[in-house]
Amino acid sequence: MLKRRYPSFRSVLATHDVVRVAGAHHALSGVLAQEAGFQAVWSSSFEVSASRCLPDASILSMTEYLEAAANIQKALDIPVVADCDTGYGGNYNVAHMVHEFEGAGITAVCMEDKLFPKMNSFASGGQTLLDTAAFASKIQTAKTVQATEDFFVIARTEALIAGAGVDEAVTRCKAYADAGADAVLIHSKARTKDEVLAFLDQWDNRVPVVVVPTTYPDWHIDDVRSAGVSVVIYANQGMRAALTTLRNTYRAIYEAGDTTALEAEIASVRDIFDLQRMADWQKLGA
């Protein structure tokens, strides 16, 4: 009754023209994303770090990120894609990461081609990329040690984030695909989608493309599909919305002195019971 059965990310990708993925940092936010209709959940290192009030800068350990991703997956009927930053170190670390995440039931991971320890892509300051061949070696390692054919490795290039240009991004992603990556993620912090479209114009479709339209939010899903994108990740909008709502709610309670005015606008305790599957649990003790 309480067991979860979920498809692999690979099988979801095979049955959708565009897979829509929502960022989460705990099981409750993952369940709400599933409830809204998303086909997968992104266990976001940015959100997981922020939930601890820490920067997204390789401060938390692999074990802490693994625990967050596994807890999300346990609550869902859809797959989790784990944001694994740089793979937590070198090739040995990548091999250990794949073993642990795959063993925890995670069917897809994403690694980026920056140096460890990384800094969040949108933070001020420069970004340093790992050598292309060295990152390709990480991808090869991940694919060599995976236990099942279903396991899915996304190679994320930060070439545009680092200001290296579209040509460099394409060159890197071709090398990563040749190394065995199941998909590539092209990341940009530009205010328009033009850089990403330029990448897509040069891409030869040897593996699917993933995008994260955080700074160019007006890219409608129909246009994303038409551009040939296979996966779109809304990586942090949930946490950003929750932050605004929590801040306003706490301020309103403090200023009003009671919660009367809020009660009609916030979820009921019964709603939370339903998300917890309280009735199913209670049957076990009957």
Q: Domain ranges for the chain, please list them.
A: 9-235, 245-284
Residue 1 confidence (pLDDT): 45
Residue 2 confidence (pLDDT): 57
Q: Is 129 helix (H, G, I), strand (E, B) or coil?
A: strand
Place of tokens 């959100």: 47
Q: How far, in Å, CA of 137 to CA of 150, rounded?
A: 20
| Architecture category of domain 9-235 in CATH | Alpha-Beta Barrel (3.20)
Quick check: 194 and 219 in contact, CB under 8 A?
A: no
Active-site residue flag, 280: no
Give the Å distances, CA to CA, from 277 to 32, 75, 98, 221, 273. 13, 10, 31, 32, 6
What is the amino acid identity at position 9? F
Token pair of 157 as six digits: 């290039």
Which segments in the chain show pLDDT lower than 70?
A: 1-4, 286
The one catalytic residue in 56, 85, 113, 182 is: 56
Q: How far, in Å, CA of 40 to CA of 21, rounded?
A: 5
DSSP code for 172:
H
**C-alpha dihedral over 210, 234, 190, 119, to 10 degrees?**
-90
CA atoms within 13 A on the CB side of 112: 28
Q: How far, in Å, CA of 136 to CA of 231, rounded?
A: 21
Residue 154 confidence (pLDDT): 99
Phi-psi region of 205 (alpha: psi -120 to 50; beta: other; left: phi over 0): left
